[in-house]
Amino acid sequence: MQCEPARQVYRTWMIDSRRWSPYRPRSGDVIIATYPKCGTTWMQRIVGLLIFQSPEPRPVGEIAAWVDRRLDPLEAIMHGLESQSHRRFLKSHLPFDGMPIYSDVRYIHVARDGRDACLSYHNQITRFREDTLRVLDAIGLRDELTGRTYPRVATDPLAYFRMWMQEGVAGARDGSPYLSYFDFERTYWQARRRANLVMVHYRDLKSDLDQEMRRIARFLGIAVCEEIWPSLVKAATFEEMRREGAKLAPRVMTLFSGGSADFFQKGENDRWRGILTSDASTSTSRRYPGGFHNRALVGFGTAAELTWNRRKQTTDTGKHWLLKGRD
Spell out, as residue ranges, where the chain has pLDDT lower than 50: 285-296, 300-327
Residues 293, 311: Cα–Cα separation, whole Å: 14
Q: Evaluate whether 30 touches 95 at the Cβ level (below 8 Å).
A: no
Q: Evaluate whether 6 touches 97 at the Cβ level (below 8 Å).
A: yes
Q: In angstroms, how far is the first alpha carbon of the chain from the final one?
A: 27
pLDDT score, position 118? 92
pLDDT score, position 242? 87
pLDDT score, position 258? 63
Whole-angstrom CA distances from 55 to 91, 259, 303 are: 20, 22, 30
pLDDT score, position 283? 52
Residues 162, 190: Cα–Cα separation, whole Å: 27
pLDDT score, position 249? 80
32 three-state secondary structure: strand
pLDDT score, position 282? 53
pLDDT score, position 273? 74
pLDDT score, position 254? 67
Q: What domains are defined for the chain?
A: 3-324 (3.40.50.300)
pLDDT score, position 278? 59
pLDDT score, position 184? 94
